[in-house]
Amino acid sequence: MAEEDQIIETVDEDGRTVKFELYDIVEVDEKEYALLLPVEEEDSEEVVLMRLTKDGEEYLFETIDDDEEFNKVADYVENMDEEEE
User: Is position 24 within any domain?
Assistant: yes
CA distance 28 to 59: 17
In whole angstroms, what separates CA 82 from the centre of its chain? 18
CA distance 38 to 41: 6
Q: Are 73 and 33 in contact (CB under 8 A)?
A: yes
User: Domains in the chain: how many in total?
Assistant: 1
User: Is position 74 within any domain?
Assistant: yes
Predicted structure pTM score:
0.79
User: Is position 75 within any domain?
Assistant: yes
User: Is position 2 within any domain?
Assistant: no
Give residue 62's domain range.
7-84
Supply the pLDDT for residue 43: 63
Q: Which pLDDT tens digits describe the chain residue by residue (85 residues)?
A: 345 578 888 887 788 888 999 999 999 999 999 999 988 766 667 889 999 998 888 888 999 999 999 999 999 999 986 666 5
In whole angstroms, what separates CA 37 from the centre of its chain? 7
Supply the pLDDT for residue 11: 80
User: Is position 65 within any domain?
Assistant: yes
User: Is position 43 within any domain?
Assistant: yes
